[in-house]
Amino acid sequence: MTTLAAAVASRLPTRWVGSAACALYPRFEPELSRLADFCPRGGTAIDIGGWYGPWSRRLAARCERVVTLEPVPHLARHLRSTLPGNARVVQAAAGGP
């Protein structure tokens, strides 16, 4: 997000920002429309850096299980409350030394 967008988003309810992000994000990430090419139906997917969930939500509709890593506490809470039951949210950062 740009600085202006981040400033505006921080003043809005997380649910609103999440809904807007999930609706608009496919315009900036054309790969979202090609999930069938990347992820077989019924598989397991890992979303590293879940943010507001545009990838996790679409993966959960396609896969049997989704594990989403999100280190930011309020975003992890948002994901836990909005993703379907086959998605597990882990509040952690991915990375190494």
- The 10s digit of each residue's pLDDT in 3-16 is 656 666 667 677 77
- How far apart are alpha carbons 63 and 24 in whole angstroms? 22
Is residue 2 predicted with pLDDT exceeding 60? no
Cβ 25 vs Cβ 60: under 8 Å:
no
Per-residue pLDDT at 12: 64
Is residue 77 predicted with pLDDT exceeding 70? yes
Is residue 1 predicted with pLDDT exceeding 60? no
> Which one is predicted more confidently, 20 or 85?
85
Domain range 3-90, its CATH number among 3.40.190.10, 3.40.50.150, 3.40.1410.10, 3.30.465.10:
3.40.50.150
Number of other CB atoms surrounding residue 76 within 10 Å: 18
The structural domains of the chain, with segments of one domain joined by +, span 3-90
- The 10s digit of each residue's pLDDT in 16-67 is 776 766 666 666 777 777 888 888 889 999 999 998 898 899 899 999 999 9
Tell me the Ramachandran region of residue 37: left when phi exceeds 0, alpha when psi lies from -120 to 50, beta otherwise. Answer: alpha
